[in-house]
């Protein structure tokens, strides 16, 4: 047996060629390289340091026909079941009154928001304020563009 091609093994094991081990090491190295490459590509962006990356949601929020209702909830955690039910009531009334289309909702860190695409901002602002007085009279909120 040639030592260049075989490694030592116990009596019960078969001798494996070194080339087999090298091939497995190459496969492992290739897999790890691909994982690193995918991670770097997936986490990179073209935004200069110190600036916020533009996303479709951020672009949507800049739309002049979009209003964002931001509601402050007690605490600094995610919304409770009751808070979610309140938000659902607000969404339902916005839809029922045909004020606009709900685009996105979110919650976390003591805040909850509802993005609404509207036709007339002034009418929508007053209607949303009225809905908030009915559904969540004690909650602090803002209506942002």
Positive/negative CA dihedral, 87, 88, 90, 95: positive
Q: What average pLDDT score do residues 39-56 get?
A: 60
Please report the pLDDT score of residue 61 as a whole number.
Answer: 46
Positive/negative CA dihedral, 20, 22, 23, 25: positive
Please report the pLDDT score of residue 130 as a whole number.
Answer: 92
In this structure, what token pair is assigned to residue 129? 């304020």
How does pLDDT run across 114-125, given as a tens digit for each residue?
899 988 888 888
């Amino acid at each position: 047996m040639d030592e260049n091609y075989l490694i030592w093994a116990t009596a019960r094991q078969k001798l494996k060629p070194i080339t087999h081990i090298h091939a497995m090491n190459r496969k492992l190295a290739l897999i790890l390289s691909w994982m690193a490459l995918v991670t770097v590509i997936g986490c990179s962006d073209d935004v200069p340091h110190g600036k916020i990356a533009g996303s479709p949601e951020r672009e949507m929020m800049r739309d002049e026909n979009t209003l964002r209702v931001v509601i402050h909830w007690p605490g600094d955690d995610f919304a409770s079941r009751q808070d979610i039910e309140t938000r659902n009531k607000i969404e339902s009334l916005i839809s029922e009154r045909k004020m606009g289309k709900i685009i996105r909702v979110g919650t976390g860190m003591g805040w909850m928001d509802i993005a609404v695409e509207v036709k007339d901002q002034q009418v929508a602002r007053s209607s949303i304020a009225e809905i908030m007085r009915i559904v969540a009279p004690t909650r602090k909120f803002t209506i942002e563009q």
